[in-house]
């Protein structure tokens, strides 16, 4: 059965899984573009990520692949979506492999930029992790 709730509600559910702080991060744009946060959450997360047919992990891996192939100008978005992919259950190895695979489609410079973004993101996560 399909989820018939409004897309904004479905989007907020996805955001709660991937990055509960995302709406707060996006809210800074509302000062200059009123409604930006709700539009982003409703459209990207509620109308795309929340669709049936692919699980959230697979959607995030596809997003990492696309952002990698687009090249270095997507570095900040790639870093966020690497974090989201990990939250959705992807492994670091899977993400590095999909980034490397994009060398075939986006070129080696795009893959290198993606690998560098992934390694920096992993280092940030490791640095923020509580000591065991």
Whether 94 and 117 map to the same domain: the answer is: yes
Whether 104 and 62 map to the same domain: the answer is: yes
C-beta separation of 67 from 32 below 8 A: no
Neighbours of 39 (CB within 10 A): 16
Whether 91 and 33 map to the same domain: the answer is: no
Whether 48 and 60 map to the same domain: the answer is: no
In the block, tokens 């409604």 appear at 35
Tokens for 21, please give them.
Answer: 């702080």
Neighbours of 10 (CB within 10 A): 20
C-beta separation of 26 from 36 below 8 A: yes
Whether 67 and 123 map to the same domain: the answer is: yes
Tens of pLDDT, residues 25-41: 888 999 999 999 999 99
Whether 6 and 28 map to the same domain: the answer is: yes
Domain count across the chain:
2
**Quick one: average pLDDT of 11-30?**
92
Query: Could you tell me which of 115, 71, 122, 89 has the C-alpha nearest to residue 18?
Result: 89
High-pLDDT (> 70) share of the chain, %: 98
Distance separating alpha carbons of residues 123 and 74, to the nearest angstrom: 19
**Domain with 28 in it:** 1-53
Predicted structure pTM score: 0.91
For position 95, which CATH number holds?
1.20.1290.10
């Amino acid at each position: 059965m399909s989820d018939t709730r409004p897309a904004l509600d479905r989007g907020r559910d996805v955001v709660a899984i991937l990055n509960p702080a995302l709406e707060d991060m996006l809210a800074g744009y509302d000062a200059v573009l009123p409604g930006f946060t709700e539009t982003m959450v409703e459209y990207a997360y509620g109308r795309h990520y929340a669709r049936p047919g692919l699980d959230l992990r697979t959607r995030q891996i596809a997003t990492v692949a696309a952002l990698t192939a687009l090249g270095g100008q997507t570095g900040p978005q790639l870093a966020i979506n690497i974090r989201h992919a990990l939250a959705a259950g992807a492994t670091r190895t899977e993400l590095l492999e999909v980034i490397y695979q994009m060398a075939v489609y986006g070129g080696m410079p795009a893959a290198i930029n993606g690998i560098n973004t992934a390694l920096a993101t992993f280092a940030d996560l490791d640095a923020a992790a509580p000591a065991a």
